């Protein structure tokens, strides 16, 4: 599979495997290790996490599986996130979902991620959400210290709009290497708000979460979903895709911004569907007819 250069010395696989729902997969350590190795055989080397996934359990489950074959660590890129503090029985003192991008919290969260993964470095750490209460000097101090200590190699953000990206960047001595954003055939917000434009301007490849829109398209009976399913089915036939989710992946993969879809499923056959989408071609009319079906009107 194609590797995408994120910055000097950092390459991501074109398809990224996400572990948001890992705790629900109910895999034994051995099953998870096999899953990881199967992903790697398909060319997926980049794995996406967050401190909070699975009520703070997913990093640990992943790390425990990885420990069985620690040679794998240096063949993969580990991405994780920090900055959200959800309501959680692990933290009974919390009574409101909030963000924490203080120096202390970033460092503590990363230290915990290192322990969870059983590794001594994380490839990329992202600020999970733009924090309206952000002290960018503290973020910069945390990032700089973690980088200097070798605990984190690179930093990025997630769900940041352009003004937020510019602001944080201005406090850093090094570039943010990615912005992980939600994009799909029904989530066009970041086309409209300039986020994708900015990624292209800054030459950074966005990681894309929820590339299949959480499955809404498959079952929803809205006019938009009905229109989209018809168009996706037609394009599937035309480009030789096996299913409409392959077309949804391809719609992202053929875009010049080098969008990197994150697969959310723990079923190997679903991962394979994404991986095989990389080979699909799509012409401009197909791409725009999907856009038109999403919007409900042609481009002007």
Is the dihedral angle over the CA atoms 168, 158, 181, 252 positive or is it negative? positive
Distance of CA 150 to the CA centre of its chain: 23
Q: Is 171 an annotated catalytic residue? A: no
201 binds a copy of itself (CB under 8 A): yes
298 binding a copy of itself? (CB under 8 A): yes
The region of 4-12, 33-41, 45-53, 282-290 touching a copy of itself under the rule CB under 8 A is 282-290
Q: Which residues pair with 91 in a beta bridge?
A: 88
How far the first Cα of the chain sits from its last, in Å, is 36
For a copy of itself, the binding residues in 235-264 under the rule CB under 8 A are 255-256
| Contacts to a copy of itself from residues 84-143, by CB under 8 A | 85, 94-100, 102, 129, 132-138
Query: If you ran DSSP here, which 8-state letter would residue 250 be given?
Result: H
DSSP state of 206: P
Selected binder of a copy of itself within 55, 104, 281, 285 (CB under 8 A): 285
CB of 157 to a copy of itself, least distance (A): 13
Query: Do residues 252 and 184 make contact, with C-beta atoms less than 8 angstroms apart?
Result: yes
CB of 46 or CB of 158, closer to a copy of itself: 158
- CA-closest candidate to residue 1, choices 204, 9, 12, 10: 12
Interaction residues for a copy of itself, span 148-187 (CB under 8 A): 159, 161-164, 166-167, 170
Site for a copy of itself in 6-45 (CB under 8 A): none
Number of residues that bind a copy of itself (CB under 8 A): 44
| Contact present, 101 and 139 (Cβ < 8 Å) | yes
Please give the Cα distance from 83 to 151 (Å, whole number): 17
Cα-Cα-Cα-Cα torsion 92, 97, 101, 102, nearest 10 degrees, comes to: -40
Report which of 143, 146, 170, 167 is spatially closest to residue 156, judged by C-alpha positions: 143
Could you tell me which stretch among 16-24, 27-35, 197-205, 273-281 binds a copy of itself (CB under 8 A)? 197-205
Q: Which residues does the annotation mark as catalytic?
A: 53
Q: Which residues bind a copy of itself (CB under 8 A)?
A: 85, 94-100, 102, 129, 132-138, 159, 161-164, 166-167, 170, 191, 193-194, 197-198, 200-201, 255-256, 284-285, 287-289, 291-292, 298-300
């Amino acid at each position: 599979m194609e590797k995408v250069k994120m910055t000097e010395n950092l390459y991501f696989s074109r398809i990224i495997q996400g572990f948001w729902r890992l705790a629900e997969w109910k895999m034994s350590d051995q099953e998870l290790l096999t899953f990881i190795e199967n992903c790697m055989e398909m060319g997926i080397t980049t794995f996406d996490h967050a401190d909070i996934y699975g009520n703070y359990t997913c990093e640990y489950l992943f790390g425990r599986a990885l420990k069985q074959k620690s040679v794998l660590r240096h063949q993969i890129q580990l991405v994780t996130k920090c900055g959200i503090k959800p309501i959680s029985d692990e933290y009974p003192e919390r009574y409101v979902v909030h963000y924490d991008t203080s120096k202390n919290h970033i460092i503590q969260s990363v230290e915990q991620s290192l322990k969870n993964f059983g590794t001594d470095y994380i490839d990329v750490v992202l600020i999970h959400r733009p924090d309206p209460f952000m002290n960018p000097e503290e973020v910069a101090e945390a990032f700089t210290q973690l980088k200097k200590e070798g605990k984190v190699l690179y930093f990025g953000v997630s769900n940041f709009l352009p003004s937020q990206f510019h602001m944080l960047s201005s406090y850093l001595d090094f570039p943010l290497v990615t912005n992980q954003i939600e994009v799909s055939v029904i989530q066009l917000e970041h086309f409209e708000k300039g986020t994708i434009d900015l990624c292209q301007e800054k030459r950074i490849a966005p990681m894309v979460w929820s590339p299949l829109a959480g499955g809404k398209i498959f079952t929803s009976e809205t006019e938009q979903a009905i229109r989209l399913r018809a168009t996706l089915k037609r394009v599937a036939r035309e480009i030789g895709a096996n299913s409409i989710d392959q077309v949804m992946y391809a719609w992202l993969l053929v875009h010049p911004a080098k969008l990197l879809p994150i697969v959310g499923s723990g079923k190997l056959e679903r991962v394979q569907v994404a991986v095989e989408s990389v080979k699909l071609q799509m012409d401009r009319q197909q791409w725009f007819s999907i856009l038109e079906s999403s919007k409900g009107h042609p481009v002007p």
